Amino acid sequence: MTTVIQKKICLLGEFAVGKTSLVRRFVEGNFSDRYISTIGVKISRRVVERASGNMNLLVWDLAGSDEFNGQIQANYLRGSSGAIIVCDLTRRETLSGFQRYVEQIRAIGLEIPLIFIGNKMDLLEERTISAEDLQSAAETFRCPYLLSSAKTGENTEAAFLRLAELIEARG
Ligand code: G3D
Ligand code: MG
């Protein structure tokens, strides 16, 4: 019998950075198993095959507006085994949110692996955040980072799989 472990991960990032698009790519239509309307969260599921057994990833994504009060934020984060924090490489202000998200995660006592994603790497001409900017943010918080495109699919799966690896390494 194979063991299946279940892990919750959540997506964080300013409005329209591409969180939902990244999740959609990753779960490939296997979307919206559950929708918790009271807190505006959509939960999708994908099984990732790992050497140690299958990992059932429950991906939490904000369904509506990304504005919420502190209580919902805590409910959204609580129980997560990892998080993907996303910025939009064409909107410089979306990078400054990273610190806030990391602080919110730590404020509720979560010590979980994080991955920083600079999304929309396909929009080269419009890029206002460089790979070096992202790298330096990642170094500040000691997190791995990746540039991705939910549009082309580049590094989309890789980001989720990397997080799954880090979660697995934590045991
Ligand atoms: P959010 O869930 O973080 O709020 P969404 O963001 O996934 O809803 O994406 C916001 C918009 O950005 C969408 O455009 C989506 O198609 C686009 N988008 C997401 N990822 C990428 C990407 O990697 N490259 C490009 N070029 N666009 C992307 P619309 O026009 O549907 O609002
Ligand atoms: Mg969304």
Mean pLDDT, 10 residues at a time, over the chain (171 residues)?
Answer: 83 92 82 58 88 88 63 83 97 92 93 97 97 95 95 95 94 76
Domain boundaries, the chain: 4-170
At residue 124, the 3 state secondary structure works out as helix
The pLDDT value recorded for residue 171 is 76
pLDDT at 69: 53
Closest residue by CA, ligand 1 atom 4: 16
17 Cα–ligand 2 center, Å? 8
* Residue 165: other Cβ atoms inside 10 A: 16
Q: Which atom of ligand 1 is nearest to the CA of 150?
A: 23
Atom of ligand 1 nearest to the CA of 21: 7
Predicted pLDDT of residue 62: 83
Are 114 and 143 spatial neighbours (Cβ–Cβ below 8 Å)?
yes
The pLDDT, as a whole number, for residue 32 is 47
Query: Which residues does ligand 1 sit against, CB inside 6 Å?
Result: 13, 15-21, 119-120, 122-123, 149-151
Nearest atom, ligand 1, residue 120 CA: 23
Q: What is the CATH number of domain 4-170?
A: 3.40.50.300
SS3 label, residue 81: coil
Nearest CA to ligand 1 atom 9: 18
Beta bridge partners of 54: 4, 49
SS3 31: coil
Q: What is the pLDDT of residue 80?
A: 97
Q: By alpha-carbon position, which residue is closest to atom 26 of ligand 1?
A: 120
